[in-house]
Structure 1
Amino acid sequence: MPALYFTEVEYRARLAATKVEMEKSGFDTIILSDPANIFYLTGFDAWAFYSPLFLVVSCNLDQPIWIGRFMDAVSARDTTYLRDENIRSYPDHFVQSSTSHPVEPTSEILKERNLDKGSIGVEMGAYYYTARIHAEFVRNLPNVRFGDAELLVNRVRLVKSPAEQDYMRQAGRIADAAMAAAIDKCAPGVRECDVVSEIYKTQISGTPEFGGVYTTSPPHFCAGERVRTPHGLWTDQPLQNNSPLNIEIAGARLHYHCPISRTVYLGQPPESYWRLADAVVEGLNTTMDSIRPGMTAEEVELVWRKSISRHGFEKEARLGYSIGLGFPPTWGERTTSLRPGDKTVLQPGMAFHCMSGLWLENTGIAITQSFLVTENGNEPLTLFERKLAAKN
């Protein structure tokens, strides 16, 4: 029996919701290449997306069709609810070949199922849907009208089921543990890479109750002058006294992510840095206190913007983004952003990372909060105290 993370009833509900969106968009069929969306609709869980991997969803079929490299079909049988007839593969000579492409056998499978006509949606902006893949589909399926179905399934994913919410809470506990391990390790003279090794260890070992999995990106670890950069990586240099460092990581439970960022200051922070930290924490707390269902994404950002402006700060980048299920290279769902112009209405079950950080010309700070929207407000997914972590 396959090792499913969710019930078949839940998978069928996700598929039904996807088909409703397909019909609204005028698609007879969609071809998915985003591994998060393939996982969401089937449970498929293996590192197989380095080679072309597809999930075909048709309004006329009761199950999707998984199509991937022949050796990964074993994982499809082990981790999905799909019947064997809907697990299809292509031979190994199509893998990383300069003379042929996996879209060729994929197109033949579509023809077998009479899906080589009508309107087909593809994920034009997905990270793993390449220009070569699209050109091959156009060449091999001349009777198809291709359209852009990017984010169609991502939007179905916006509201999390109770089971998904539980996984995200567990991811939050892993994130808390990993951040605690990192801050505990930080000290003048300790190499940056040695702190990050503690993060990785805790991310995977998780808690005594549940373990973690790999996250979509490496830890962002910005020490010294790099504290003014949001997405820098660690070095093998020792940490210096009297300087800040920013850490952004996530806990991941069965690919459901809960991000967290904290700033650590080694030594005694100057008064100017305390003022910066106080402004960020006040803005974050004020924002979290205001969040409730029915608000729009841009209204959430406006609360933050007004708060930090009273301290003389402004932030050009978005305040946050929707989170949940994630595969490399991002734990963001690429749908809703907390920023001006995004009029998405918050609903119970949506999840976000409130990325309340400021990166200035010569310094930076990041003290953030992931949360679930609830019936009456919001639920923090991490419990780590919202403050500057000063280590004298």
Structure 2
Amino acid sequence: MIKDLHFEVAEFQARLRAVKEEMARKGLDILLLSEPPNQNYLTGYNAYSFYTPQMVVVALDHAQPIWIGRFMDRISATMTTYLAEDNIRAYPDTYVQSAALSAYDFMADIVKEVAGEKARIGVEMGGYYYSARAHADLTRALPLAEFVDADLLVGWIRLVKSPAEIGIMRQAGQLADAAMQRVIDTVEAGVRECDIAAAIYHQQVSGTPEFGGDYPCCPPDLCIGERSIAPHAAWTDDPVPDSTVVNLELSGCRHRYQVNLARTIVVGRPSPEFEKLSEIAVESLNAGLDAIRPGRTCSEVDGAFRQALARHGLEKESRIGYPTGIGFPPASGERTASIRKGDETVLQAGMVFHMMPGLWLDTVGVTITQSFAVSDSGFEPLTKTPRKLVIK
């Protein structure tokens, strides 16, 4: 049977050791991971199966994690993880979308098997895939256990990428660049917005001559005309006007690692005021990037950006960056550090961020961004698309 692993088993084992060390520090016997990125990080598991109950169980006294999912997805667990077959457990289809049966009862029995009924269990209370029903069913099935919020326990470990992960993210950056160039080549007056979106999807997946891409975590933000001031707008089937602004954020995804990229494209001739605003946005972005080095805090990087912006009498309310890495729907951000005032997270080599200092004003918006990896002495850009306004 084929094995689709993108890292050495030793790397998975190192990740598991780091997680178990943090579990021990928090006094946890069991960690239940419901978030697909964390499941992928610790096992390699990758299939579009997370719409049904799915869990990876980490037990302090168990050598490998245990994957638990739907019976028909067991084969994907065998193909995409390094786990031994007895650590791949599947529940029958009778549990799927059943009013009478809960897959979490099945999972609770495995918890009892590896840690007993009185285990101290960490769960991802803030995760996208840990529902109120999941928690209610687990606590009912394990009445003697103690449940602890361990949200982001794995997330903070994932924040620093290994050299092998950075290598994959460099490829994801190439995919993002290729998709952006496809858009730049495609956008012109009269082209339907939906056709631009279709071109993005085609390029994201077809990739480069050397390698292809995966489905992205979320759709591209294609903000055109009056919707160019709405950061997360959807496309329509309207044609692009003769003179308009296109604010676009897209991504490249390689082996589930995602790198984001945003640019502003102007169809027609921009006003001098708009060109000046774009120059200010780039100047401030570059000031933030120049502040990046190990030992600096996210807040200090944010401060360098805001000082440059303030010289032009402008302010920005929202954060200017977030970490990315393994991504599954609905979002690519890792929910840990943010490049914003007051975030004292200390930068380390191997951290990856999307610096996204979009300027969303009352009547105009400019979004020119840079994904980067923190290097030993500064930053490594993961995309090569020039940081400037694009004029068509």
TM value normalised by structure 2 = 0.99
> 1:321 matched to which residue of 2?
322
> 1:337 matched to which residue of 2?
338
Runs of 4 or more off by more than 3 Å in structure 1? none
Q: RMSD value over aligned CA atoms?
A: 0.8
Spell out the pairing of 1:135-146 with structure 2 (5 A cutoff). 135-146=136-147
Q: Which amino acid aligns with 2:177?
A: D
Alignment check: 8 A CA contact 1:192 1:238 kept: yes
TM value normalised by structure 1 = 0.99
Deviation at 1:220, TM superposition (A): 0.5
Alignment check: 8 A CA contact 1:294 1:346 kept: yes
Q: Does 1:206 align with 2:207?
A: yes
> 1:195 matched to which residue of 2?
196
- For 2:320 and 2:70, the matched residues in 1 are separated by 39
- For 1:113 and 1:325, the matched residues in 2 are separated by 28
For residue 211 of structure 1, give the secondary structure of its aligned residue in structure 2: coil
Spell out the pairing of 1:6-45 with structure 2 (5 A cutoff). 6-45=7-46
Identity of aligned residues (%): 51
Q: Does 1:289 align with 2:282?
A: no
Q: Which amino acid aligns with 2:78?
A: R
- For 2:170 and 2:118, the matched residues in 1 are separated by 43
Q: Which amino acid aligns with 1:118?
A: A
Alignment check: 8 A CA contact 2:291 2:300 kept: no
Q: Does 1:240 align with 2:234?
A: no
> 1:3 matched to which residue of 2?
4
Q: Which amino acid aligns with 1:70?
A: F
> 2:70 matched to which residue of 1?
69
- For 1:226 and 1:244, the matched residues in 2 are separated by 9
Deviation at 1:112, TM superposition (A): 2.3
In the alignment, structure 1 segments of 5+ residues that lack a partner are: none
Measured against aligned partners, the alpha-carbon deviations of 1:234-279 in whole angstroms (never above 9, x if no partner) come to 1100001221110100000101111000000111100110111011
Alignment check: 8 A CA contact 1:29 1:115 kept: no
For residue 335 of structure 2, give the secondary structure of its aligned residue in structure 1: strand
Deviation at 1:183, TM superposition (A): 1.1
> 2:91 matched to which residue of 1?
90
The number of equivalent residue pairs is: 391
Deviation at 1:187, TM superposition (A): 0.3
> 1:379 matched to which residue of 2?
380
Measured against aligned partners, the alpha-carbon deviations of 1:56-76 in whole angstroms (never above 9, x if no partner) come to 001110001110001101110
Alignment check: 8 A CA contact 2:59 2:115 kept: no
Deviation at 1:114, TM superposition (A): 3.4
Closer, same or farther: CA 4–115 of 1 in aligned 2, 3 Å: farther
- For 2:23 and 2:332, the matched residues in 1 are separated by 24
- For 2:282 and 2:17, the matched residues in 1 are separated by 42
Q: Which amino acid aligns with 2:330?
A: P
Deviation at 1:361, TM superposition (A): 1.0
- For 2:90 and 2:268, the matched residues in 1 are separated by 57
Measured against aligned partners, the alpha-carbon deviations of 1:345-364 in whole angstroms (never above 9, x if no partner) come to 00000000000211111111
Spell out the pairing of 1:124-163 with structure 2 (5 A cutoff). 124-163=125-164
In the alignment, structure 2 segments of 5+ residues that lack a partner are: none
> 1:121 matched to which residue of 2?
122
> 2:231 matched to which residue of 1?
230
